[in-house]
Structure 1
Amino acid sequence: MLNPLTILLVTVLSGAMAMAVLGSLWRAAIPGVGYWIAANALGIVALLAFALQGHASRWLSFVAANALLALALLLVLEGCLRFLGRRERPWVAYAGLVAVLLGVCYWTFVKPDFNARVTLVSAYHAILYAALAVLVWRGRPSHRPAYNYYFLATAAALLCVGHSSRGIMYGFGRLMQTSLLQVSPSNIAFLALGILAPPLLAIGVVMLAHDRLAERFERLANVDDLTGAVSRRAFLERGGVLLNASLRSGLPVAIAIVDIDSFKSVNDTYGHAAGDQVLAHFAAFVARELRAGDVFGRLGGEEFGVLCPVTTAADAVMLLERLRGGLTASTPVELPRGLRYTFSVGVDQWRRGESLEQLMARADRALYAAKAAGRDRVVAA
């Protein structure tokens, strides 16, 4: 039969490996990772303190060990709160930790009762695991793959069931023992279940952290950092999707190629920093004014594109004229004093059987016609 001490030491090793993996993510500054690393460190110390039962004081091997292990799980919960962007602290859980500490002290020194200690600690852990499962399940973002969140929520739910069963068995006296390291089938079974907790939680939080890294990389690839508009590559991808949808539905799709007028003179007169401000201001203005479903992207330099699903060329001209008039009437306080700018637009509508590149080429020719006609205007191909 396995020795409980061996199980504790194996759990310590798994916690150390989890710390190493999480430590590799420290520099990525992902919210919650610091809490998860601290949780694994406290868990290791707690397990080592448990292993010293019979060789160290009960303050260390009973009271401190239980308190640190409970605090470790609480830090996992805190880390998930930060990861999901929530700032509140689980003060009720901290109050529960104090109650657990007092109960462990009472049933260790005042009225020694191993079963009562196990019941109390198991109930607290079960509640924290339940809270973790609900938090992760409800907090999963709709725009990200759900598998990572489901994995951690399911693992927390299973551990909640395990701790609940342990608490019930010991609480109703179905199992009787006097020491955590006592060799018995039931004790070995519950400790073996406990050995799964650190790696399951570590795998779950590492999956969340790596998904956050993947989200950052996707944003770098798909979103222009200066303007917040989608990148040229993402714009072309979404354009292909819209044309395929239009081919199936028969509904129109229009495109507008937009260019800020005399942008070089802005850079020459006010400096490149002011030019960046103009690009950011223009992108923010357009993004506020576009309709839901329209796709706004930066094609390069001061040139942008707008994809308008379920929109004819005439409707797109009206939309862009409204934007042009709105910019002319506004006073961009974010820009250097005296800096005003306009933009020109070429518009066209997709024709069945042509590629997105062909559509963009015709809209681009319309844009050049707008420039040639004096700028600050919208021209349909």
Structure 2
Amino acid sequence: MLNPITILLVTVLSGAMAMAVLGSLWRVAIPGVGYWITANAVGIVALLAFSLQGHAPRWLSFVAANVLLALALLLVLEGCLRFLGRRERPWAGYAGLVLVLLGISYWTFIEPDFNARVTLVSAYHAILYAALAVLMLRGRPAHRPRYNYYFLAAAAVLLCIGHSTRGIMYSFGSLMQTSLLQVSPINVAFLALGILAPPFLAIGVVMLAHDRLAERFERLANVDDMTGALSRRAFLESGAALLNVSLRSGLPVAIAIVDIDSFKSVNDTYGHAAGDQVLAHFAAFVAREVRASDVFGRLGGEEFGVLCPVTNAAEAVVLLDRLRTRLATSTPGELPRGLRYTFSVGVDQWRRGESLEQLMARADRALYAAKAAGRNRVVAA
């Protein structure tokens, strides 16, 4: 039969490995990682304190060990809250931790009761695991893959069931035991379940951290860093997808190629920093004013594109001309004093059987026509 001490030491090693993996993610500043590293460190100290039962004072091997292990799980939960962008603290969890401290102290020094201690700690862990499972299921961002969040939720549910079962059995006196490290089949089984907790939680949070890294890389690839608009590659991919939808549905798709007028003179007169401000202001203005279904991206330099699904060329002209008029009547406070700018637009509608490149080429020619006609206008091909 496995020795409980052996199980605790293996769990300590798994916690140390989890710290090493999470430590490699420290510099990328993913919210929650600091809490997860601390949780593993606290958990290791708690397990080492458990292993000293019979060789150290009870305040260390009983009280401190149980409280620290509960704190470690609470830190995992708080790290997940930070990871999901929640700023609130789990105060109810900390209040429960104080009750655990008081209860364990009472049933250790005043009215010794091993079963009561186990029941209290198991109930606290079961509640935290349940809260973690609910947080993962409800807090998952809609745009991210489900697997990472469901994995951690499933692990939390299984551990919640394990701790609930353990607490119920000890509360009803189904198990006769006087020490956590007592060698018995059922105790070894529960400790074996406990050994799964750190690696499962560590794997789960590492998967979350790597998903956040993947999200950042996707953003770098898909979003223009200066303006926040879609990158050219992402814009073209969205355009191709819209044309496929239009091919199946028969609904129109229009495109607008937009260019900021006399942008070189802005750089020459006000400097390149002001030019960057104009690009950022224009992108924010268009993103705020276009419809939710429209796709907005930066094609390069001062040239942008707007894809308008379920929209014909005439409707797109009205939409873009409305934007042009609103910009002309606005006073951008964040731009250098006296800096005003306009934009020109070329618009066309997709024709069945043609490629996105052909559509964009015609809209681009319409843009050149708008420039030649005096700028600050919208022209349909």
Fold conserved (TM > 0.5)? yes
CA distance in 1, matches of 2:379, 2:152: 54
Aligned pairs (5 A) from 1:135-284: 135-284=135-284
What's the TM-score, normalizing by structure 2? 0.99
**Residue 345 of structure 1: how far off its partner (Å):** 0.5
- Helix, strand or coil at the partner of 1:141: coil
Asked whether 1:130 is paired with 2:130, we answer yes
Aligned pairs (5 A) from 1:76-95: 76-95=76-95
**2:26 alignment partner in structure 1:** 26
- Helix, strand or coil at the partner of 1:379: strand
Unmatched tracts of structure 1, length 5 or more: none
CA distance in 1, matches of 2:153, 2:204: 8
CA distance in 2, matches of 1:96, 1:245: 54
**Residue 20 of structure 1: how far off its partner (Å):** 0.5
CA deviation profile, 1:113-157 (whole Å, cap 9, x unmatched): 111110110011001111111111110010000111001011001
How many pairs were matched up?
Answer: 381
**1:366 alignment partner in structure 2:** 366
**Residue 92 of structure 1: how far off its partner (Å):** 1.1
CA distance in 2, matches of 1:100, 1:288: 51
**1:74 alignment partner in structure 2:** 74
- Helix, strand or coil at the partner of 2:346: strand
Asked whether 1:17 is paired with 2:5, we answer no
**Residue 292 of structure 1: how far off its partner (Å):** 1.4
- Helix, strand or coil at the partner of 2:306: strand
Asked whether 1:301 is paired with 2:276, we answer no
CA distance in 2, matches of 1:373, 1:303: 18
**2:317 alignment partner in structure 1:** 317
The one-letter amino acid of 1:324's match is: R
Query: Which consecutive aligned stretches of 4+ in structure 1 deviate over 2 angstroms post-superposition?
Result: none
**2:100 alignment partner in structure 1:** 100
**Residue 218 of structure 1: how far off its partner (Å):** 0.3
CA distance in 1, matches of 2:32, 2:129: 17
Asked whether 1:48 is paired with 2:20, we answer no
What's the TM-score, normalizing by structure 1? 0.99
Unmatched tracts of structure 2, length 5 or more: none
CA deviation profile, 1:275-295 (whole Å, cap 9, x unmatched): 000001101111111011100
Asked whether 1:343 is paired with 2:343, we answer yes
CA distance in 1, matches of 2:96, 2:235: 51
- Helix, strand or coil at the partner of 1:344: strand
**Residue 333 of structure 1: how far off its partner (Å):** 0.9
CA deviation profile, 1:281-340 (whole Å, cap 9, x unmatched): 101111111011100000000000000000000000000110111110111111000001
CA distance in 2, matches of 1:303, 1:169: 69
CA distance in 2, matches of 1:336, 1:67: 58
CA distance in 2, matches of 1:317, 1:380: 7
Give the RMSD, CA atoms, in angstroms. Answer: 0.5
**Residue 111 of structure 1: how far off its partner (Å):** 1.2
CA distance in 2, matches of 1:208, 1:148: 6
CA distance in 1, matches of 2:357, 2:285: 26
